[in-house]
Amino acid sequence: MSKILANDGISESGKVALEEKGFQVITEKVDQENLIETINKEGIEVLLVRSATTARKELIDACPNLKIIGRGGVGMDNIDVEYAKEKGLEVYNTPAASSSSVAELVFAHLFGMVRFLYESNRQMPLEGDQNFKSLKKAFSGGSELTGKTLGIIGFGRIGQEVAKRAIGLGMNVLAHDKYTSEANITLNFFNGDKKTFTIESTSLKNVLRGSDFVTLHIPKLEDKAVIGAEEIGLMKDGAGIINTARGGVVDEDALMFSLDKGKLAYAALDVFTNEPNPSIHLMMHNNISLTPHIGAATLEAQDRIGEELAEKIIAYFNK
């Protein structure tokens, strides 16, 4: 019986699928410093992680019985992927499973930003009973998303899911991707009808200059932020930024400065440079909509992630 350590958890449906095939699935969380010892002591052959647990060279070298490292989600920057493959390990992720969930969170933030829900929800419990009229006046200058332009930086699976929702709302879409020159975006309607739109990738500068809102869906591959002071300077006055990709993709200091100076009107962050201890200045900023890295954290996405990992693990051991 092969043992699987799902150190950052796995959905019940994924766990059941594995157990039905005879795998023992352990879901008790093991601290990072005790992970190597536990893997070797328990004879773990499969390590499943999300963003909390890392699988670096030291762990790979120290755990010779390990056969698979699985990442529930898209990015694998917490795993030394190439080194693991060189050592003969299989490394799996689930790039498609959480696309819809992340895309919907982008729009949750977008709607909240243009109607000031992030700040209204802070102020209503404090002042709603005493200063209702003044709060109504303060939050009555909202905007509509219909007719606005959404810039999407990173036009892979998630970026394309975002585009679907933007088109459905009547937004214009500008996209930038180093590796995708164009993409066909198909909307599936409730009555079975379909409509396909072709969106061509343009330059980063064109996206920044032409968008009312910019959303990022790219990995953090360099030390330098993709969106810093220079890039923000190219954006429209009063524009907004949403980052549900990776902490550090947006320069947080430059972002706060641009909000304070009125260059940008909105910002939304689901990911942070110093997770799990983001800047207190960022957390307290009045013009930032905040969520604690929950882009893929829907029940539906967790089921898809667990089931996809289970399928890949079962297929490996049935070879």
Q: Where in the chain is the domain with CATH 3.40.50.720?
A: 3-95+299-317, 99-290
pLDDT, residue 149, reads: 98
Q: Residue 319: is its pLDDT beyond 80?
A: no
Q: Which of 58, 54, 30, 33 is nearest to 44 (CA)?
A: 30
Q: Residue 223: is its pLDDT beyond 90?
A: no
pLDDT, residue 242, reads: 98
Q: Which tens digit of pLDDT belongs to each residue from 117-158?
A: 999 999 999 999 999 999 999 999 999 999 999 999 999 999
pLDDT, residue 171, reads: 98
Q: Which amino acid appears at position 165 of this protein?
A: R
Q: Could you give the residue numbers annotated as active site? A: 246, 275, 293
pTM of the model: 0.88
pLDDT band at 21; cut points 50, 70, 90: very high
Region 73-95: mean pLDDT is: 92
pLDDT, residue 73, reads: 84
Region 208-234: mean pLDDT is: 93
- Beta strands at 3-6 and 24-26: parallel, antiparallel or unpaired: parallel
Q: Residue 292: is its pLDDT beyond 90?
A: yes
Residue 207: Cβ-neighbour burial (10 angstroms; 0-12, 13-18, 19+): buried
CATH match of 3-95+299-317 with 3.30.465.10 = no
Q: How far is CA 8 from the centre of its chain?
A: 16
**CATH code linked to domain 99-290:** 3.40.50.720
pLDDT, residue 157, reads: 93
pLDDT, residue 95, reads: 83
Question: ∠ at Cα 90 (16, 87), nearest 5°?
Answer: 140
pLDDT band at 257; cut points 50, 70, 90: very high
Residues 49 and 8: beta-carbon distance below 8 Å: yes
Residues 82 and 104: beta-carbon distance below 8 Å: no
Q: Residue 221: is its pLDDT beyond 80?
A: no
Q: What percent of the chain has pLDDT over 70?
A: 100
pLDDT, residue 220, reads: 73
Q: Kindly report the average pLDDT of the chain as a whole number.
A: 95
Region 172-198: mean pLDDT is: 96
Residues 300 and 51: beta-carbon distance below 8 Å: no
As a whole number of angstroms, the distance between CA 106 and CA 154 comes to 14
- Beta strands at 194-200 and 182-188: parallel, antiparallel or unpaired: antiparallel
pLDDT, residue 96, reads: 84
Distances (CA, A) of 16 to 5, 12, 50, 151, 310: 14, 6, 19, 40, 9
Tokens representing residue 13 in the block: 């449906």
Q: Residue 77: is its pLDDT beyond 90?
A: no
pLDDT, residue 88, reads: 96
CB atoms under 10 Å from CB of 3, counted, come to 15
Q: Which tens digit of pLDDT belongs to each residue from 272-291?
A: 999 889 999 999 998 999 99
Region 312-317: mean pLDDT is: 96
Burial 245-274 (b: 16+ CB within 10 A, else e): bbbbbbbbebbbebbeeebbbbbbbbbbbe
Q: Which tens digit of pLDDT belongs to each residue from 1-12?
A: 799 999 999 999
Question: ∠ at Cα 79 (289, 28), nearest 5°?
Answer: 80
